[in-house]
Amino acid sequence: MTEIFTFVTIQNRNGHFNIVLATIVISSVFWYIWVYTKSKRLFPPIPPGPRGLPVVGNLPFLHPELHTYFHSLAQKHGPVLKLWLGAKLTIVITSSEATREILRTNDVIFANHDVPVVGSLSTYGGVDIVWSPYGTEWRMLRKICINKMLSNATLDSNSFNLLRRQETKRTVRYLADRARAGSAVNVGEQIFVTILNVVITQMLWGATVADGEERDSVGAEFLELITIIDVVGKPNVSDFFPVLSRFDLQGLAKRVRGSAQRMDLMFDRIINQRVRMDKGSKGNGVDFLMVLLNAKEEDENMSMNHVKAFLMDMVLGGTDTSLNTIEFAMAELINKPEIMKKAQQELDKVVGKNNIVEETHIT
């Protein structure tokens, strides 16, 4: 009798377990259907794209020449396609029509950026004009940049105009001397030095830092810290997998943090020197730093970190972008002699054989 009762009890328990299990399974199925249907309504379907691997997505298949790689993908998947770069969904636009729709018609919607880890570290938490989210603060920074720093009145002022002419002539003279001697020239290195002299040691704080040993010291210190540019441009695992950012697997955040801290100390020293000069009425001319400090005094929403982030933008953007553009253009001309000859003929026609190219010739 006891054995029969035990058997019935076990059967009842199994029956209850099966009912509970069936309830869980059915509920899970309905929940999945509900979530899937809701997500389809809330989120429009994403564009097509190549299949990726679990976790890493399409990262292992990226080609070093991205423009060629994207073109080949567009031929197969269309002008708008998706790539999974680790945990980040990336939409690639390859047609001029779609690009115009994004950058002009709907530019406000697409104005914000996904701030990389090293980008945030090098720009005081992303408070610069590059990484700031679209809004009141970004519009303030843009207004200062366009109306005060990069306005025609500022850039065409006698001091800045004369500076650019002097440095350009110095570089052309050096290249001509090397060419007459039949010596090899590292064009990128010379362009970098020219941009360094024009943008960094002169236009940013040329009227603040005195000529001679002081300016040489600032230039040498900056050259030592300019490695931050290389680090900012490197692919970072922490950007593709944010959950791993705390571990800094490549050590990029550590390198940028050290360089950014030393750059911050240099900015502080130069800013304090400018403030002392203004108090003593010993300012000598105008530079970007003076323009920024005046803008800070006029706008209470602008902090000293905004000033430093602006300077950092000018340092990074003013050297690396210009250098890459000029190097790429020179390489293309060398590889295509017929275009080089056409450019030389145009220069002879517009400028003249024995004349120096002035900014008025190309504006």
281 falls within a domain = yes
288 falls within a domain = yes
Q: Are residues 176 and 270 in the same domain?
A: yes
Residue with the larger pLDDT of the pair 165 and 302? 302
Specify the pLDDT at position 262.
87
Specify the pLDDT at position 254.
92
What DSSP line would sit under 310-359, residue for residue?
Answer: HHHHHHHIIIIIHHHHHHHHHHHHHH-HHHHHHHHHHHHHHT-TTS---G
pLDDT at 213 exceeding the cut of 80: no
Q: Minimum mean pLDDT among 13-22, 79-88, 137-146: which range?
A: 13-22
Q: How many CB atoms are located within 10 Å of the residue 326 CB?
A: 17
Q: How many domains does the chain have?
A: 3
pTM of the model: 0.72
Place of tokens 């309830």: 23
What DSSP line would sit under 98-117, residue for residue?
Answer: HHHIIIIITTTTT------H
35 falls within a domain = no
The C-alpha R_g of the chain, in whole angstroms, comes to 29
Q: Are residues 355 and 311 in the same domain?
A: yes
Specify the pLDDT at position 46.
87
Q: Are residues 194 and 263 in the same domain?
A: yes
Domain of residue 150 covers: 120-361
pLDDT at 288 exceeding the cut of 80: yes
Q: Are residues 127 and 88 in the same domain?
A: no
39 falls within a domain = no
Q: Are residues 297 and 198 in the same domain?
A: yes
304 falls within a domain = yes
Q: Are residues 307 and 266 in the same domain?
A: yes
Specify the pLDDT at position 20.
57
Residue with the larger pLDDT of the pair 179 and 284? 179
Q: Are residues 101 and 201 in the same domain?
A: no
By three-state DSSP, how is residue 300 classified?
Answer: coil
Q: Are residues 176 and 125 in the same domain?
A: yes
Contacts of 233 (CB under 8 A, 6+ apart): 320
Instruction: Provide mean pLDDT across the span 137-145.
Output: 90
Specify the pLDDT at position 40.
55
Q: Are residues 73 and 24 in the same domain?
A: no
Q: Are residues 89 and 228 in the same domain?
A: no
